Amino acid sequence: MNDDPLWYVAYGSNLFRERFHCYLSGGRPRGGARHHTGCRDPRPARAACSITIPGGIYFGHTSLTWGGGMAFYDPDLPGRAAARAYLLTGRQFCDVLSQEMRRDVGTDHDLSEALARGRQRLGPGRYETVLKVGERAGHAMLTFTSPAPAPPNAPTAAYLAMLGNGLREAHDWTPARAASYLAGRPGARGAWTARAIAALLD
C-alpha cells in the first residue's frame, strides 16, 4: 500500500468532526466508552466535504462504545445516504480502518481489490468490508461496512445525538431534518420518533 491520498467516506458517528478527531489523534469521544489509539500520523484531514452516496444506512449489531445498534452502510437500500468525506493519507486511512476493525494500528492494508473492483472483504467482522463509492479530485472514495446486512437493533440516545450533530455540522441540517432522517433508518424506525431524536439535538 502506498501513501497516496484517499477519501474516507463517513456515514455514522464520524460525520461529527470532533468525534472523528479521536481516530486521528487518539482519545475517547464524549459519551463513548472506548478510547481510541489514534493514527501513526495524527494530522487533521487535508480536506473535508459533505456528500451523499447511493444507498442508505441501517442500525444493527451492538456497539461496545455506545451500546445499542451501530450505523452500517448498505448500497442496496433505496435513496441516498448522507456522508462526509475526509481526505487522508493512505496510511491514515489504514489506521482508521484498523481501529474500526479493533486491530492494532500500523498495518498498511492492501486495498488493491477494493480500488480495482469496488469491494474487498478483509475479514468477517463488522467493519471489515471496504467499498469504493466513487472518486473525487482524482482520489478514490472508500468506506467500510458489514459484509452482509445484520438484523436491526435500535441505537442509543448518545449515539443518535452524535450522528445527529454530525449531520447538522456536515450538511447544515436543522434538528428536525436530521431527526427525521435518522428516525427513518432501519433499526431506529419504530423504536425512535423524529420528535424524540430532535429533542436530543436541541
Q: What is the pLDDT of residues 150-173, one digit of tens each?
A: 899 999 999 999 999 999 999 999
pLDDT band at 126 (very low <50, low <70, confident <90, very high): confident
pLDDT band at 33 (very low <50, low <70, confident <90, very high): low
Please say if the pLDDT value at position 122 is more than 90.
yes
pLDDT band at 66 (very low <50, low <70, confident <90, very high): confident
Burial tier of 108 (Cβ tally within 10 Å: 0-12, 13-18, 19+): middle
Please say if the pLDDT value at position 2 is more than 90.
no
* Cα distances (angstroms) measured from residue 124 to each of 3, 76, 104, 166, 197: 26, 19, 17, 28, 32
pLDDT at position 36 is 73
- Mean pLDDT, to the nearest integer, of 79-94? 97
Q: Which domains does the chain have, with CATH numbers?
A: 6-153 (3.10.490)
pLDDT cut 70: percent of the chain above it: 96
pTM above 0.85, yes or no: yes
pLDDT band at 37 (very low <50, low <70, confident <90, very high): confident
pLDDT at position 171 is 97
* Residue burial 139-170, b: 16+ Cβ < 10 Å; e: rest: bbbbbbbbbeebebbbbbbbbbbbbbbbbbbb
pLDDT at position 42 is 94
pLDDT at position 58 is 98
